[in-house]
Structure 1
Amino acid sequence: MSAVPPVRTVLIDDHPALRAGVRAVLEQTGRIEVVAEASDGERGVEICQRLEPNVVLLDMEMPGMDGIAVAERLRELAVPTRVLAYSAYDDAAYVTAMLQAGAAGYVTKDKPMSLVAEAVEAVARGEGRWFVSITPPNPVDIPISDRELDVVRLMARGRDNNEIADELGISPNTVRNHVSAAYEKLGVSSWRQAVAWAWEHGLV
């Protein structure tokens, strides 16, 4: 059996010491290879265009082009690299903006580095990873049923319909019905819009 290739990763952060620490921990796993680093968004976009890494670990706050702008630019350029936001902030506005910009995950800098490595590998596999805690709103503000909310929360955690069905003990067809009902009640038309709503309301 051939060996699984390492997750090719680019780091974009304006703090050299932080990049060095993150790089060391990621590469110690033996499953992640940091192929390049950048200290600003413009350079990071250029590197991702050229190298097309599996994942870019992207700081939110940088001079010039910030993380949201970088994620949006990579999506516009159709660069096949999954974005994992790496931020000091867990504000709902940041999380929602990154989700809408096409990010596959969001992890805050206070989390253990082992969790960051886990998130990099998960995002490379196509799974969502959103390690953020936001204060939930008053339940009366939630226009969907408890079960529909369960489904949307699991969607926001990167689960597909079959995984949601398994976790909730219902059929995939029932999951689809809950998704359709949630879309109608929330006034949205896509997975991304529904998950953005969940983040905006602190429900994940």
Structure 2
Amino acid sequence: MRFVAMRLRNIKGKYTHKNKTASDSDSDGGESTWMPSMEGFVKYLVASKLVFNTVERILDKSDDVSYTHFRKTGLERSEALEKDLQWLAEHHGIEIPKPSNQGVVYAQYLEHIAEGSAPLFLSHLYNIYFSHIAGGQVIATQVCDKLLEGEVLEFLQWEGDAQELLKGLREKVNMLGEHWSRDEKNRCLKETSKCFKYMGQIVRLIIL
């Protein structure tokens, strides 16, 4: 996601395409400037909705007692994303696409690990929300400023303090983590990089 943030930081004006000409390179590195597009942004929202919906559905329907601690945390995003996509379709005439491969692959991976290991799934759960709050929503807000004239999407708004909600989630994960084996904790650390890789691929949809 840092890659996307750096690409977007010097964009001026409202562009809806990716420019690869040498004359439009960044002043500090000579790299071509990547412009956010409405098409890419909608793909990002659709993929994000699939991921958040998958996480929320797993938590709601699983019989694993560990997952019951993470229902209705206030961090849920799928309902807000559904409203945003409906608004874009109705007010901007945008055709909402099917989820991209980036979102589908990650959702399938989440389904897989949720069945086999609660610690690994909960590692992804926390890092999904962390990556969105710490980086994803900042990038998405910048894109809204450029493509939607500053319209603030439901996806980027919270009932309460997002950082406090995230802190509460982290404390619950840490509480359960006290009962995990050393091997499970080590595997969770490895899963963190996987989560950021998957989420980074989804954010990159904005500028692809």
- TM-score normalised over the length of structure 2: 0.29
- The structure with higher relative contact order (CA 8 Å, sep 6+) is 2
- As a proportion of its length, which structure holds more helix? 2
- As a proportion of its length, which structure holds more strand? 1
